[in-house]
A and B are shown apart, each in its own frame.
Chain A
């Protein structure tokens, strides 16, 4: 599929917002969905619906097969070793909670240390904070420099004999920083410390190869990867999934249940309790096929061009301050404007059909570090075009007019 044909695959772009064409620059929050994903949901509910795994009638068999086909696609998409390493969850938040809870229960004791970074989303901080509260763990923050890059030398210094796990983002949802995960894993590996990667922002935008990264855990939200809501992924090395205790208990995750004793299902079912978002998991296969049809290399190239174009144009607008200037930046552009609060920017550009986000983007620690309470954020998806960036810049100029700034 050619990049120029991508936008036409997304029905939402034929709709008007406030009488204007939609310029969707909030993909870091959640992405829009291609028609094949929407059709898959529709088709599954209309023609193929059944719960999976439990019944042996034809519909159930078909649904189970399709569900497992997605798991296989995800395994290939991430280059995992086996299907057993792919767990379906509700979202990345649940994936991280799964690890924090089960790993914490088994391996964290009073005074043990967890290293995260100042870039982290609340989803990769709050679950570890629970361990601070319940287990007396200590959380250390790897600092960032003024460009928004994690200072690897400082992270190294935080490691002690008490460090039990390192949890970092692969791509910041505020500064767009692409974090050198491989380097961090190499450092951690020397001390036998597992690494969890929050891959929420990276999954739709850069190539992921968990074997090459050699990380222990990788968390993804499918709704950000051109997929349905309600599905997340946890990749984990098999040794961890075998060793860690189960998380949510209930149907589907057991092997045998008696009055005295319960045994658990093998992987991956051990971690998939209760009825799963069947239609959504099935439809997510179409999201992966979509990404593959465009080609990850093409996606990277297109988004890089757009990001550079946007940065250049935005910098020319008076009084705009771009947050962070990392070595390796993806299409996440947060900014502030002198004299206009991000909320006001968002309301005004919305009138032009431009969807951006304003606030702390669930990264309050980062905003405190940057001495900001809120930023405006334009984030790029595969469907965006140079025209979108032009409309964004014009609408930002309009903010200055509304606020009567020179």
Chain B
């Protein structure tokens, strides 16, 4: 195992300076995620417009470098996309993290691919997978408009 694979520069940088941090104004959807094992919390704020596009996406919460970076990168990637593309991206990301199979992010540009792939090192650290996936599950829940908090222990 190589720690540098896990803690790539992009991750450290996003971990230290998360993008889209805070509550966004006039958000239409919102969801909370919680990892009961470590107490990490995330809150996602989503602003969807009439064309079903993600106009804004922000988050609040506390967590480790992996979870903060994963959330920050997610907000960057999803912002501006249609809800359908966002859903697809969530699915692809979760497949990559869980199966460690090569995943093709065809709809992403090179910069986006680099960012999302920087999180793939997590697959070698099973105890850290939930740190990386919590925000993505929570975003999914925000899109669906589910009321119940996402609990990392009840998702696989």
Q: Are B39 and A403 in contact (CB under 8 A)?
A: no
Q: Are B39 and A347 in contact (CB under 8 A)?
A: no
| Interfacial chain B residues near A348, Cβ < 8 Å | 3, 7
CA distance A340 to B66 in the complex (A): 11
B131 contacts A by Cβ under 8 Å: yes
CA distance A403 to B65 in the complex (A): 9
Q: Which candidate, A103-111, A217-225, A356-364, is the interface stretch facing chain B?
A: A356-364
Q: Which of A330-366 contact B (CB under 8 A)?
A: 339-344, 347-348, 351, 358-360, 364
Q: 1/0 per position for A372-406, CB-CB distance to B under 8 A?
A: 01100000000000000000000000000011100
| Interfacial chain B residues near A18, Cβ < 8 Å | 1
Chain A proximity of B12: nearest CB distance (Å):
6
From known contacts A18-B1, A351-B3, infer whether A344 and B65 are also in contact, taking CB-CB under 8 Å.
yes
Chain A proximity of B3: nearest CB distance (Å):
6
From known contacts A347-B125, A351-B3, A403-B7, infer whether A364 and B39 are also in contact, taking CB-CB under 8 Å.
yes
Q: Are A367 and B3 in contact (CB under 8 A)?
A: no
B135 contacts A by Cβ under 8 Å: no
| Interfacial chain A residues near B63, Cβ < 8 Å | 341, 343, 373
CA distance A342 to B66 in the complex (A): 12
Chain B: CB-nearest residue to A372: B39
Q: Which of B91-133 contact A (CB under 8 A)?
A: 125, 127-128, 131
| Interfacial chain B residues near A341, Cβ < 8 Å | 63-65
B37 contacts A by Cβ under 8 Å: yes
From known contacts A18-B1, A403-B12, infer whether A343 and B39 are also in contact, taking CB-CB under 8 Å.
no
- Which range contains the number of B residues in contact with the other chain? 20 to 34
Query: B64 is contacted by which of A343, A351, A360, A402 (Cβ under 8 Å)?
Result: A343
| Interfacial chain A residues near B40, Cβ < 8 Å | 343, 373-374
Q: Are A340 and B38 in contact (CB under 8 A)?
A: no
| Interfacial chain A residues near B3, Cβ < 8 Å | 347-348, 351, 402
Chain B proximity of A108: nearest CB distance (Å):
28
From known contacts A341-B63, A344-B65, A347-B6, infer whether A373 and B37 are also in contact, taking CB-CB under 8 Å.
no
Q: Are B1 and A351 in contact (CB under 8 A)?
A: yes
B16 contacts A by Cβ under 8 Å: yes
Q: Are A360 and B7 in contact (CB under 8 A)?
A: no
Chain B proximity of A13: nearest CB distance (Å):
22
Query: A373 is contacted by which of B4, B16, B39, B131 (Cβ under 8 Å)?
Result: B39
| Interfacial chain B residues near A339, Cβ < 8 Å | 16
Q: Are A402 and B38 in contact (CB under 8 A)?
A: no
From known contacts A373-B62, A402-B3, infer whether A347 and B128 are also in contact, taking CB-CB under 8 Å.
yes
| Interfacial chain B residues near A404, Cβ < 8 Å | 12
Q: Which of A15-44 contact B (CB under 8 A)?
A: 18
5 inter-chain pairs at a CB distance below 8 angstroms, sorted by A residue, are A343-B66, A347-B3, A347-B127, A347-B128, A360-B38
Q: Which 9 residue pairs are nearest across A and B when measured between Cβ atoms?
A: A341-B64, A343-B64, A359-B38, A373-B39, A360-B39, A344-B64, A373-B62, A344-B65, A374-B38
Residues of A whose CB lies within 8 Å of any CB of B are 18, 339-344, 347-348, 351, 358-360, 364, 367, 373-374, 402-404
**Additional A-B contacts beyond A373-B39, A373-B40 (6; CB < 8 A):** A343-B64, A343-B128, A344-B64, A351-B3, A358-B38, A403-B65
